[in-house]
Amino acid sequence: MFVQLLCKDRNQKEKDELYQVLAALAHREQLQIEERGDIVELDVCPQGKIQVSEEGRQVIMSANTRHGGPGFHAFCVDLFLDIQHELPGDYELIDDLELDKDGNFHRIFHLYEDEVEYLRGELVRKRPLYYKNYLYDSTFFLPLEKENAVATPIGYLDTKEFIHMDPEALMDNFFVWNTWDKTAQYYKNTALLLMAKEGYGPFALMNDHTLKMAHLICDYLEIAFQKDPSLTYPVKEYRNYISLLGRDDRLQNAKSMEQEVFQYRLQEVYHLFDNAKVVAFGACERSFDPVLEAMCLMSPRTEEHAWDYFIQVSKKPMICSSIPELEKQDPIPYQGKSIWILVHEEEGFPMIDAKIRQLDEELYFHIVFKEENQKDYLIRCIKESGFVQVNF
């Protein structure tokens, strides 16, 4: 599920004209367009981006449409055809679903139904895909595994319900854009997906990103309700966000959803780091230290500087401040792992150094925390962390 437009043999003037046409089309479609290093990105929907890059005299526009859905795939094909219509030149359109050849949206809709059936089989049987990042186009976390439940991009589904759901109904759990046009259901899907993926709840004002996501969730719900007030909506969650953001209530008299609304970041998740999975609260701020080759997780906060703990994780022991003392500890056997834990204090702060050995791999932790009552929680998170182990 992939669409690509090759714009061939362009000099610099012709490349500039291409970008001007692309910017005009993005404005027409109300899309955000950004330069990210050598790549230009168009944010089309929460599960779909179009990336533009250059190779010599060629400009390449491409989109992975697997996560966005049939509507996103059709949008990309239409946009690429519009570019060819607006600006003459040598083009090659590559559409692996061949919508460009017959324009049959109904046919590709069924191909996405087939994709959902494939996902269902893989996830129920806990095949290798189950242990990978199958939910989102791009993210660094996965929900924790739950007994008798399967994680979808908008929340957990009971396994029995998941097995027996009609594939067309199941599509709204996996793809945001399942119609040709952007209907009310599309905007509701995008809001539910952003809640699951980027819903920070009481931590919505933590930084610019969390603030932007909270406003987007509210925007999408308000557009959906305006288009179709008869749908059910996550009214309680919406009102929590508008209270934090100081927005007016535009979902008055909206019907509330009966099913539970999930915000994965308001519980523990697996923070993915190479082939390691680190258990910590989902709303932690993530960064990467290239010198220490370490993932860094800062506890979420509602006030500036009001952090509770700071976690560093690396495959290199250099992040630990007391390796000799750590390795003198007796290892704790836990779920096929050996775990070394040392609690100590430096400069008035309690700290935890830890090492996990699982088969032939090692993972190191260095944690600074403020309050003694956080120690047991952080040790539990260490013990539940480890490496992705897939039985093929």
pLDDT tens for 131-169 read 777 898 878 999 998 999 999 999 999 999 999 999 999
Q: Are residues 239 and 138 in the same domain?
A: yes
Looking at the domain assignment, is residue 177 inside a domain?
Answer: yes
Domain at 343, CATH number: 2.60.120
Give yes or no: residues 162 and 252 share one domain.
yes
Residue 331's pLDDT is 96
pLDDT in tens, 55-86: 999 999 999 999 999 999 999 999 999 999 99
SS3 214: helix
Q: Would you state the pLDDT for residue 77? A: 97
- Give yes or no for a contact between 338 and 332, defined as CB atoms under 8 angstroms apart: yes
128 and 245 co-located in one domain: yes
123 phi, psi to nearest 5 deg: -75, -40
For the stretch 105-141, pLDDT in tens is: 999 999 999 999 999 999 998 888 877 778 988 789 9
- What average pLDDT does the segment 368-391 reach? 90
Cα–Cα–Cα angle for 17, 22, 25, rounded to 5 degrees: 130
How confident is the model over 220-265, as pLDDT tens digits?
999 999 999 999 999 999 999 999 999 999 999 999 999 899 999 9
Confidence of residue 390 (pLDDT cuts 50, 70, 90): low
Flag whether pLDDT at 48 surpasses 60: yes
pLDDT at 392 > cutoff 70: no
Average pLDDT, the chain: 94
More confident residue, 389 or 231: 231
pTM assigned to the model: 0.91
Asked if residue 111 belongs to a domain, the reply is no
| pLDDT of the residue at 348 | 86
Residue type at 199? G
Complete DSSP assignment for 348-378 = TEEEEEEEEEETTEEEEEEEEES-GGGHHHH
Which residue range forms the structural domain that includes residue 284? 267-387
Which helix (H) or strand (E) segment is 51 a member of? strand 48-55
- Amino acid 137: pLDDT: 82
Residue 381 within a domain: yes
Find the mean pLDDT for residues 170-183.
95
Q: Let me know if residue 112 belongs to a domain.
A: no
Count of domains forming the chain: 3
294 shares its domain with 341:
yes
**56 lies in the same domain as 80:** yes
Give the pLDDT confidence of 285-338 residue by residue, as tens digits: 999 999 999 999 999 999 887 899 999 999 999 999 889 999 999 999 999 999
85 shares a domain with 11: yes
Q: What is the predicted pLDDT for the residue at 304?
A: 80
Alpha-carbon distance 379 to 280, whole Å?
10
Cα(62)–Cα(68) distance, integer angstroms = 14
- Residue 113 inside a domain? The answer is no
pLDDT of residue 389: 66
Structure tokens at 103: 């324009």
End residue of a domain, out of 223, 256, 289: 256
Residue 20 DSSP label: H
Query: Do residues 367 and 314 make contact, with C-beta atoms less than 8 angstroms apart?
Result: no
